[in-house]
Amino acid sequence: MQSSLIGKVEKSKVYARERHRMQINDLQVAFHGENSDHSVSLKDGKWSCNCDFFAAWDVCSHTMALERVLEGMVPTQPIPVPAAV
């Protein structure tokens, strides 16, 4: 392997460990859930998912899972607290 390519491979390893260098702005993910597939997206810092739970709560297991996988590179959504009755 050429030395210039070896240098780039090594630099990529350093970058991969330094997640603070990365910020994902827009993202589209096909999420294969237990019951069905879902379309999850991040646009302009806001999550979206086509599952029924997200429609009611603006957060779901799919968006929360992606927040964990991409920790530090995507915004986190606050978990909603139900209003007291």
Contact 62, 49 (CB under 8 A): yes
With contact defined as beta carbons under 8 Å apart, do 73 and 56 qualify? no
Determine which of 2-6, 7-11, 23-27 has the lowest per-residue pLDDT on average. 2-6
73 SS3 class: coil
Instruction: Report whether 47 contacts 59 (CB < 8 A).
Output: yes
Quote the pLDDT of residue 85.
58
The pTM of this model reads 0.79
Band (pLDDT 50/70/90 cuts) for residue 43 is very high
